[in-house]
Amino acid sequence: MKKWLAIFLSIVSLLGLTACGSRNNDGDEKTDKISVSVTFDAMKEFTEIVGGDHVQVSTIIPDGTEPHDFEPKAQDLKALSTANVFVYNGFGMETWVDDAVSAADNSSLVTVEASKGAEAITNTDEAEISEHGQYDPHLWLSLKGAETEAQNIRDGLIQADPDHAEDYRTNCSAFVAQLESLYQEYDQNFQSVSNKSIVTGHAAFAYLCRDFGLTQNSVEDVFAEGEPSAQQLTKLVEYCKQNQVKTIFAEELASPDVSKTLADEVGATVKTIYTIESAEDGKSYLDRMKDNLSEIYESLR
């Protein structure tokens, strides 16, 4: 696949497809916006918040697709050959990034690893490390992590479009202030509860748990692969009973049926929690994070 991807994008480059944004080649039609290609929904939202009116954002991984399983085709990556900026999460979330950037052959492309500089949570499962790498990638589900990602995106946009640097700084600062306000609110809330244990559909919330001193157990692993064996399910049932787990949090793309079975076994309810990998319910990142935190807090009271 990588060989054909490189061949295709090299041909695209040779054909001289029209570039977009304020950094277009001479003779191309110019717009007031810079072109930004991102990998999935959370990166899109952060980029649009920080970029404001100065960015035009396209998303590589389609909504409804599990990003951990995504293998891009040439047509998915065509925008990279003409984009001004490329934003991806990092921490092993998008294993195909290096090959895609190389194949795009876009010398002016500013590449932003949004998780750069954050403290990673290390995987402990040897099989996961072998297949996906050593880090848990779900940094965007932490309010503190989102601050880091927004700031890295700000810096990338400034590099690509220094004329609007002050706007990017202002937008980023306003977003970080909102994130910090939400963090302070729920930091106080979670300090007030004695039960700190949650069970999720897949292990995507370790960074959120780190923010607030919570403990996560899950139906599926960090990369939303496989379903638990009978022995693992038995251990989950025991864990839920021992920790008085009243709610099993499920996501649409991660074993909702198993989550329901587990909830029935321990007398818990199933509630939806957002992973913000795709656009969901017409809600913004902040709206979904507020919902997540509210649901988790209520389940622990």
Same domain, 22 and 130: yes
pLDDT recorded at residue 4: 43
Q: Cα(110)–Cα(94) distance, rounded to whole angstroms?
A: 17
Q: Which of 182, 202, 223 is the last residue of a domain?
A: 182
Mean pLDDT, rounded, for 211-218: 93
| pLDDT tens per residue across span 19-42 | 334 444 344 445 689 999 999 999
Total domains in the chain come to 2
CATH of the domain at 223: 3.40.50.1980
Q: Decide: 216 and 193 in contact? Cβ < 8 Å.
A: no
Domain of 257 in residue numbering reads as 194-300
Give percent of the chain above pLDDT 70. Answer: 82
Same domain, 20 and 132: yes
Same domain, 73 and 41: yes
Q: Which of 160, 182, 204 is the last residue of a domain?
A: 182
Same domain, 149 and 122: yes
pLDDT recorded at residue 130: 57
Q: Which residues pair with 198 in a beta bridge?
A: 216
Residue type, 192: S
The average confidence (pLDDT) of the chain is: 86
Q: Which pLDDT band holds residue 223 (cuts at 50, 70, 90)?
A: very low
pLDDT recorded at residue 227: 67
Scanning the structure block, which residue is given the tokens 């599990």?
Answer: 66
pLDDT recorded at residue 131: 56
pLDDT recorded at residue 202: 78
Q: Which of 154, 182, 210 is the last residue of a domain?
A: 182
Half-sphere exposure of 111 (CA within 13 A, CB side): 14
Same domain, 161 and 208: no
pLDDT recorded at residue 104: 93
Q: Decide: 183 and 143 in contact? Cβ < 8 Å.
A: yes
| pLDDT tens per residue across span 247-301 | 999 876 655 677 888 899 899 999 989 999 999 999 999 999 999 999 999 999 9
